[in-house]
Each structure stands twice: as structure tokens, then as C-alpha cells.
Amino acid sequence: MIKSISPEFIQMAARILKTMGHPDRIKIVEFLESGEKTVGQIQREFNLLQPVTSQHLKVMYERDIVTFRQEGTSYFYSLANNFIIKILDCMSEVQEKLDSGEWDFGFSKIEHKKESV
């Protein structure tokens, strides 16, 4: 039996998951998993404009997904908590099961519907 999830936790998790709903933010979190990075490193890794990178990081900072430290004029970002890493681990596990054929969520049906619209 699945343990009941408190309404407070559901609200917090929904806020974080909504913030992580942008593909670039997921990529940034995955990149930060290996350690802190500067805005410039993140920008170059994903070929994003500096203002776009900074905006993503600002939103993720406000939602307690990342934290930063300042050294001179450089900002070094890192993950704020292990909750985010657990989300990435779950995503990776789902991808493995989909890739192996163990699971089929019907993503091809979703893509087909998008194409026919």
C-alpha cells in the first residue's frame, strides 16, 4: 500500500515539478548534478543566451531548486537539495524501462496526435 502523501508536501512537490516543466531547466539540473557551475558554463553547455540562462536560474533559485555563491563578479550555481536528484533518478529509471521495452506509455500515440493537429 502506498503511504498517504500530505497535502503540504503535494503543494511543495507540485511547485517544484511545475518549475521543472521546462526542458532547459531539466538539462541545467542534470548538468549541476556533477557540481557547481558558473552562469557562463551553463550558458555555453546548452547554447543559451545569457539573459535566458539567468532567468532560468533565477526562477529555480526562487523555488529552492538551486543555490548560488558569488565570487567577485562570478556566480556559482549548485543544486539546493537531494530532492531534485531523486527526481532525475526517477526520470532516468523510466527512460531505461521505456528504452528496454519493459514499459510503454504510449508516447508514440501522443506524438501522433501532435502531428495530426
pLDDT (tens digit per residue) in 54-87: 999 999 999 999 999 999 999 999 999 888 899 8
Place of cell 531548486: 65
Mean pLDDT for 79-106 is 88
Report helix angle 23-32 to 82-100, nearest 10.
110
Tell whether pTM > 0.85.
no
Would you mind telling me the total number of residues written for the chain in this entry? Answer: 117
**CA–CA separation, 94 vs 113, rounded Å?**
22
Q: What is the per-residue pLDDT for 51? A: 95
Find, among 31, 61, 64, the residue nearest to 48 by Cα: 31
71: part of which helix (H) or strand (E)? strand 66-71
**CA–CA separation, 61 vs 66, rounded Å?**
5
| Helix, strand, coil percentages in the chain from 3-state DSSP, rounded to 5 | 60, 10, 25
Q: Which domains are seen in the chain, by residue range?
A: 7-116 (1.10.10.10)
pLDDT (tens digit per residue) in 29-50: 999 999 999 999 999 999 999 9
